[in-house]
Structure 1
Amino acid sequence: MDEELLELQRQFEAAQQAKSSVRLSERNVVELVRKLQELNIIDYELLHTISGKEYITLERLRAEMEMEINKVGRVSLIDLTDMIDVDLYHIELQAQYIVGNNPGLMLVQGEIIAQSYWDTVAEEINERLQECSQIALAELATQLQVGSELLSSILEPRLGTLVMGRLEGGQIYTPLYIARVTAMVRGAARGVTVPTNLSAVWSRLHQLLQVTDGATGVFVEGSFFQSLFNGLVKDGEILGSLRAGVNWTPALFALAQSESVESFFSQNSFINYDVLHKLSIPHPRQYLQVRYPEGILLETVFIHSSMIEMLNVSTEDAIEHDSWVDSVSVLPSSFGIQDAAQLLLLSPFVQSAVKCGKAIVVGETCISSTKFISNQFQETLTRGSMATPFSRTTNEAHNTM
Structure 2
Amino acid sequence: MADVTWDEIRNLRADFLNLQLTETANKLSERNCVELIGLLVKEGLLNVIYTTDGKDIITEQRLIREILDEIYANGGRINIVDLAQHLRIDLTYIEGKIGDVCKEDPTLQFTLGQFISADYTNRLVEEINDMLVERGLIPFSELIRQFDLPTEYLNSIVTNRIIGSTLNGIKFESGTLYTENYVRLQQNILIGCLQAAFLPVRVNEIIKTTRVNENLIQSLIVNLIRDNRINGNLLGTTKENSIFYPKVYTDAQAKYIESFFTQNGYIEYSLVRNLGVNDPEGQTKLVLKDRKQILFLISGCIDLLKFLPQLEMNIEQGLVTNEYVDITTLMPNSFNENDIEKLFKTELSLKELIKSSGGELISNTFILAKELQDKIDKKLNDICQEYAEKESAQCTPQMYAAVLQGNIALASASSKGATAK
Q: Same fold (TM over 0.5)?
A: yes
Between the aligned partners of 2:279 and 2:25, the Cα distance in structure 1 is: 106
1:120 maps to 123
Q: Following superposition of structure 1 onto structure 2, how do residues 207-218 of structure 1 map, counting pairs within 5 Å?
A: none
Residue deviations 1:188-208 (CA, integer Å, cap 9, x gap): 1111122111322332234xx
**2:299 paired residue number:** 300
Larger helix fraction of residues: 1
Give 1:366-377 correspondences, 5 Å limit.
366-370=366-370, 372-374=372-374, 377=377
Q: Which amino acid aligns with 1:113?
A: I
Question: 2:49 is matched by which residue type in structure 1?
Answer: H
Offset at residue 366 of structure 1 (A):
2.0
1:65 aligns with 2:70: no
**What does residue 191 of structure 1 align with?**
196
**Residue 262 of structure 1: CA displacement?**
3.2
The match for 1:240 among 227, 232, 252 is 232
Residue number in structure 2 paired with 1:158: 162
AA in 2 matched with 1:48: I
Cα distance in 2 for residues equivalent to 1:230 and 1:116: 41
Seen in structure 2, the aligned counterparts of structure 1 residues 106 and 227 have a Cα distance that, compared at 3 Å, is farther
Question: Under a length normalisation based on structure 1, what TM-score does the superposition of the two structures give?
Answer: 0.62
Aligned to 2:413: none
CA gap of 1:368–1:178, structure 2 versus 1, over 3 A, is closer
User: Following the alignment from structure 1 to structure 2, what is the Cα–Cα distance between the partners of residues 321 and 133?
Assistant: 79
Cα distance in 2 for partners of 1:380, 1:61 equals 119
Give the structure, 1 or 2, with the largest relative contact order (CA under 8 Å, sep 6 or more). Answer: 1
* Mean Cα deviation higher: 152-161 or 85-94: 152-161
Output the CA distance in 1 between the equivalents of 2:251 and 2:172: 36
3-state secondary structure, aligned to 2:124: helix
In structure 1, how many angstroms separate the alpha carbons of the residues matched to 2:354 and 2:100? 91
Q: Which runs of 5+ in 1 are unaligned?
A: 1-16, 207-219, 386-401
- In the alignment, what sits opposite 1:107? 111
Q: Distance in 1 between matches of 2:349 and 2:136?
A: 76
Amino acid across the alignment from 1:119? N
Paired with 1:251 and 1:106, the residues of 2 have a C-alpha distance of: 57
1:192 touches 1:250 (CA, 8 Å); kept in 2? yes
SS of residue in 2 equivalent to 1:75: strand
2:32 is aligned with 1:33: no
Going from structure 1 to structure 2, the CA distance change for 1:164 and 1:328 (only over 3 Å counts) comes to closer
Supply the AA of the counterpart residue of 2:162.
R
CA drift of 1:378 comes to 3.8
Give distance in 1, aligned partners of 2:343 and 2:222. Answer: 50
Q: How does 1:162-173 map to 2 (within 5 A)?
A: none
Deviations 1:361-395 (A, max 9, x none): 2464221244651256448978999xxxxxxxxxx
Show the counterpart of 2:260: 264
Q: Match for 2:200: what amino acid?
A: P
Cα distance, 1:73 vs structure 2: 1.6
For 1:250, which of 246, 253, 263 is the aligned residue?
A: 246
Q: Structure 1's 107 and 252: CA in aligned 2 closer, same or farther, altered over 3 A?
A: same
Give the Cα separation in 2 of the matches to 1:186 and 1:354: 60
Q: Distance in 1 between matches of 2:200 and 2:150?
A: 40
For 1:200 and 1:348, the matched residues in 2 are separated by 51
**Residues 258, 288 of structure 2: 8 Å contact kept:** no
Q: Does 1:89 align with 2:92?
A: yes
Report SS of the residue matched to 1:282.
Answer: coil
Structure 2 unaligned regions, length at least 5: 1-23, 386-421
* Cα distance in 1, alignment partners of residues 141 and 350 from structure 2: 75
Structure 2 distance, partners of 1:165, 1:344, is: 60
The letter for the 2-side match of 1:248 is F
Give the letter aligned to residue 92 of structure 1. Answer: E
The verdict on how the C-alpha distance between 1:370 and 1:149 changes in structure 2, with shifts beyond 3 A counting, is farther
